[in-house]
Amino acid sequence: MAQNTAAQFIRYMIVALASFTGQYLAFGLMMSMLDLYPTLASALGYLVGSVINYVLNHIYSFRSQHRHGSTILRFYGAVAFGFCINTSCMFGLSELLAFGIWPSQVIASVVTVTLNFWVMKWLVFDRTA
């Protein structure tokens, strides 16, 4: 049964904040403690956030009744899409356009979370099959 999209989006944004917290903590730690290249730290932070994101979206945002086996495969397909968007934005903004590292990460996150909501809704958690 399809759920109210506006309510899902609000729950999705709450989950996104939790995911961003994990992602940004990992990003910041990798930048400050390991001195990693910003795009690599962003990519690894994104993967940390993805684990938080899956669990909370499955349970809370979309209240999915689908089995984890097929859902997690679809989810990580969507994560791959988001990973490419996030990493491309980060590289383009921080390296090509010389924005600051943190503003670049914030912009990359906003673009990615918006696109990923629709991918998660249509292809991962609310699918009919």
Q: For residue range 4-54, what is the model confidence (pLDDT) as tens digits? A: 778 888 888 899 899 989 988 999 999 999 989 888 998 899 889 988 988
pLDDT of 1: 41
Which residue's structure tokens are 């990519």?
43
Range of the domain at 89: 5-125
pLDDT at residue 127 above 60? no
Phi-psi region of 67 (alpha: psi -120 to 50; beta: other; left: phi over 0): beta
Question: Would you mind telling me the total number of residues written for the chain in this entry?
Answer: 129
Higher pLDDT, residue 21 or 75 = 21
What type of residue sits at position 30?
M
H-only helix segments in the chain: 5-32, 38-56, 68-90, 101-119
Question: What's the total number of domains in the chain?
Answer: 1
pLDDT of 126: 66
